[in-house]
Structure formats: structure tokens, C-alpha cells
């Protein structure tokens, strides 16, 4: 019998690519999304349009469905915006999550995979960053994800709703077949921003060239979105098998600097980027990359497409095709 999975935020960037992989593996999927950051054209399975923060509407719109598990992507995710509008982030990311858990309790759905973040580690003291690193977010966004992880712990203790937290580092790239990619408004990620700068023949703003790193720019751990999607399926299978809650970092275990990213985009595109150096952005740590040993050992998850050239090439091909 096919497993029936509810995917919140499944019309968004990472969500839609994970849904595509779930369908390819024979899962029966329903997407719930408010389409604020998602796109209905990303979805090729039943789509229920609604908002998690409206509990009554959530319960009513999913009344006729039964599910074996949930993958929860739906959230606001911009650290900078979260510092300007904390209510928006706490309300959506906590109240929406609570309403989802209440739905799970009512429908006896036993397991949830939570789209968490490395932002809950703040400025880590140790590199690479393991799951045991101290949790001290530097943004309301990171705090909202950490608080929901704690809420999940209580729902596990009180109601046997088991969870796996997947703490992403930097999601990047596009679907290998070119069908799905990253389209945020506003866009804040370096790879799509630099690609758009090239395609639109305009300068690229580089924030911070005076960090204590080899070339003066931030170093980040980039993980291909196809590898991220696969991790959710492995986590779902693991959770339904063990019924034991856990947390995993999803990264490659190494970092690339912003200048290395820009050089690879130039290599892939065959075009030169005009760089305008700007002051550092508040809240950007100099270096952060994952210790992914636990995910490798316990989930059997090995990043397969997360070399920098594949990440940049899939992103460049997708943005070139969808430039308008």
C-alpha cells in the first residue's frame, strides 16, 4: 500500500522538488500551501490552498484526507526580514506549526519531518558544526525554528508524535531535469542573485570582503536541492521504521567562499561578473559548514550532486530558461 504523505509548503523551492521525488518513488502525496512563496505550477499532485495559521480552515480543508506522515516545509525563512518583522515569523512558524500538530493529533498521524535550519546554531564555536553544537540563534527566524523543535519534543513526549529535524545548511541548485528551480521574491541567495546579474547585464553586490577568511568573503556549505529532497525521504522511512525522534545536519561537510561561488558562475556561464563590494550584512558569520557524519551513518544519506559545478550549472540552466 502506498504511503500517504501531507507536504506543507510543497509548492515552494525545496518542497516541490521533494514532492517530485516522493511521487517518483510511488508515495501518495497531497500538498498544502498558501502560495505566498510557492507556485501552483510547481505541483503535479493534489494541491490544497490554505494557510496553516487558520486552524479552522486547515481542519476543514483536510477533513476528508488520511495520512501516514507529514513533511513540514511551510515557513517564512528570511533572517533579515525576521528581525524587522518578528511577529510575522513567530506567528507563521510557531502558530502554523502548532495547528499542524493539532491536526496530526486529531488524525492520529504518527510522524513528521521538520524543515529546520543551521541558523539555530548562530555563530558556532566549533567547525564543522555537529548536531550537539550550542543552539544560540542570531535571528528571529533561527529562534522560531529552534522553538518549534522544542514544541516537537513536547508533542513527542505527550502524544507520541515522532519527528526528525533536518537542519539545512545552504540549499542551492535546481532539479537535474530542469523542471523546477529557485524563484523567490525577494531573492536573497548569492547563486540566483549572481546568475540574474549576469543574465540582466548588471553589477552584483558582494556584501563583505573583509572577513577573516582566505579571500575575505564568507564561507558557506552548499547542498544541492536534489540531495536535500532525498534526505527527507530517507528520514521519513527511518522515522516510520524506528519511531524515534532525532535531528540531523544536512550539508556537505565543507564550505565555499562567495568569491569561489562567483568564479564558478563565471566558468559555467562563460561571462564575467561585475562585482561591487558592499559592507558586511549584520548577522552573517564568517564561516559555517556542517558535520554530516550522523546523517551519513544513521540515514545512509550521501550527497550525490553537491559538487559546486553541478549546483551552479543546474541553477544557471534553470534561470537561463526562465529568465523572463
Whether residue 241 is contained in a domain is answered as: yes
Based on the domain organization, do 270 and 128 belong to the same domain? Answer: no
Mean per-residue pLDDT over the chain, rounded = 96
Average pLDDT, integer, range 190-208:
95
State pLDDT tens for residues 52-73. Answer: 999 999 999 999 999 999 999 9
CA dihedral 122, 125, 126, 129 (to 10 degrees): -10
Residues in Cβ contact with 274 at an 8 Å cutoff, skipping those fewer than 6 apart: 197, 202, 203, 204
Whether residue 181 is contained in a domain is answered as: no
Please tell me the predicted confidence (pLDDT) of residue 249: 98
Based on the domain organization, do 58 and 154 belong to the same domain? Answer: yes
Please tell me the predicted confidence (pLDDT) of residue 324: 63
Whether residue 48 is contained in a domain is answered as: yes
Based on the domain organization, do 234 and 303 belong to the same domain? Answer: no
Please tell me the predicted confidence (pLDDT) of residue 187: 82
Please tell me the predicted confidence (pLDDT) of residue 284: 79
Based on the domain organization, do 230 and 269 belong to the same domain? Answer: no
Check which CATH number belongs to the domain holding 40 and give it.
3.40.50.720
Based on the domain organization, do 203 and 161 belong to the same domain? Answer: no
Check which CATH number belongs to the domain holding 303 and give it.
3.90.25.10
Based on the domain organization, do 203 and 143 belong to the same domain? Answer: no
Among residues 210, 234, 250, the one where a domain terminates is: 250
Please tell me the predicted confidence (pLDDT) of residue 257: 98
141 is catalytic: yes
Based on the domain organization, do 215 and 233 belong to the same domain? Answer: no
| Alpha helix ranges (H) inside the chain | 13-24, 55-61, 79-84, 86-90, 96-107, 140-159, 190-199, 225-242, 258-269, 293-299, 308-321
Whether residue 288 is contained in a domain is answered as: yes
Please tell me the predicted confidence (pLDDT) of residue 323: 66
Whether residue 114 is contained in a domain is answered as: yes
Whether residue 180 is contained in a domain is answered as: no
Please tell me the predicted confidence (pLDDT) of residue 143: 98
Residue 1 pLDDT > 70: no
Say which residue the cell 564568507 belongs to: 218
Between residues 206 and 323, the one the model is more confident about: 206
- pLDDT above 90: percentage of residues in the chain: 94
Whether residue 297 is contained in a domain is answered as: yes
Please tell me the predicted confidence (pLDDT) of residue 285: 84
Cα-Cα end-to-end distance for the chain: 42
| Least confident segment among 66-75, 141-150, 281-290 | 281-290
Please tell me the predicted confidence (pLDDT) of residue 172: 97
Q: How many distinct structural domains can be found in the chain? A: 2
Please tell me the predicted confidence (pLDDT) of residue 2: 67
State pLDDT tens for residues 70-84. Answer: 999 999 999 989 999
State pLDDT tens for residues 107-126. Answer: 999 999 999 999 999 999 99
Based on the domain organization, do 14 and 83 belong to the same domain? Answer: yes
Based on the domain organization, do 149 and 293 belong to the same domain? Answer: no
Based on the domain organization, do 195 and 311 belong to the same domain? Answer: yes
Average pLDDT, integer, range 199-220:
96
Strand 219-220 and strand 256-257: the pairing is antiparallel
Please tell me the predicted confidence (pLDDT) of residue 131: 98
Based on the domain organization, do 245 and 115 belong to the same domain? Answer: yes
Residue 233 pLDDT > 80: yes
State pLDDT tens for residues 237-247. Answer: 999 999 999 99
Residue 149 pLDDT > 60: yes
Which residue is catalytic, options 76, 89, 121, 141? Answer: 141
**DSSP-derived secondary structure for 155-218:** HHHHH--EEEEEEE-EEE---TTSS-----SS---HHHHHHHHHHTT--EEEE-S-SSSTTSS-
Domain coverage including residue 164: 4-172+222-250
Based on the domain organization, do 82 and 205 belong to the same domain? Answer: no
Please tell me the predicted confidence (pLDDT) of residue 188: 84
Please tell me the predicted confidence (pLDDT) of residue 322: 87
304 C-beta neighbours (distance < 10 Å), count? 12
Whether residue 298 is contained in a domain is answered as: yes
Residue 263 pLDDT > 80: yes
Average pLDDT, integer, range 131-143:
96
Please tell me the predicted confidence (pLDDT) of residue 127: 96
Please tell me the predicted confidence (pLDDT) of residue 185: 80
Amino acid at each position: 500500500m502506498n504511503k500517504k504523505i501531507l507536504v506543507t509548503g510543497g509548492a515552494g523551492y525545496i518542497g516541490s522538488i521533494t514532492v517530485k521525488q516522493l511521487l517518483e518513488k510511488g508515495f501518495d502525496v497531497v500538498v498544502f500551501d498558501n502560495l505566498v512563496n510557492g507556485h501552483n505550477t510547481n505541483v503535479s499532485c493534489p494541491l490544497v490552498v490554505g494557510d496553516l495559521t487558520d486552524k479552522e480552515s486547515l481542519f476543514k480543508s483536510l477533513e476528508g484526507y488520511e495520512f501516514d506522515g507529514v513533511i513540514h516545509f511551510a515557513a517564512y525563512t528570511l533572517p533579515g526580514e525576521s528581525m524587522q518583522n518578528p511577529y510575522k515569523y513567530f506567528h507563521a512558524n510557531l502558530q502554523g506549526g502548532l495547528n499542524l500538530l493539532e491536526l496530526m493529533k486529531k488524525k492520529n498521524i504518527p510522524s513528521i519531518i521538520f524543515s529546520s535550519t543551521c541558523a539555530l546554531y548562530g555563530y558556532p564555536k566549533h567547525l564543522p558544526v555537529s548536531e550537539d553544537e550550542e543552539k544560540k540563534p542570531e535571528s528571529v527566524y533561527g529562534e522560531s525554528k529552534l522553538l518549534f523543535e522544542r514544541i516537537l519534543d513536547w508533542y513527542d513526549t505527550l502524544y507520541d508524535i515522532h519527528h526528525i529535524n533536518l537542519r539545512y545548511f545552504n540549499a542551492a541548485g535546481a532539479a537535474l531535469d530542469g523542471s523546477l528551480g529557485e524563484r523567490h521574491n525577494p531573492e536573497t541567495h548569492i547563486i540566483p542573485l549572481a546568475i540574474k546579474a549576469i543574465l540582466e547585464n548588471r553589477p552584483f553586490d558582494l556584501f563583505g570582503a573583509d572577513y577573516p577568511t582566505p579571500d575575505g568573503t564568507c564561507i558557506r556549505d552548499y547542498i544541492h536541492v536534489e540531495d536535500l529532497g532525498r534526505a527527507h525521504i530517507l528520514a521519513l522511512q527511518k522515522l516510520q521504521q524506528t519511531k524515534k525522534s532525532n535531528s540531523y545536519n544536512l550539508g556537505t561537510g565543507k564550505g565555499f567562499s562567495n568569491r569561489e561561488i562567483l568564479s564558478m558562475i563565471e566558468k559555467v556561464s562563460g561571462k564575467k561578473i561585475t562585482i561591487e563590494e558592499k559592507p558586511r550584512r549584520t548577522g552573517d558569520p564568517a564561516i559555517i559548514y556542517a558535520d554530516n557524519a550522523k546523517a551519513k551513518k544513521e540515514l545512509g544519506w550521501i550527497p550525490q550532486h553537491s559538487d559546486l559545478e553541478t549546483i551552479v550549472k543546474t541553477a544557471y540552466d534553470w534561470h537561463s530558461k526562465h529568465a523572463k
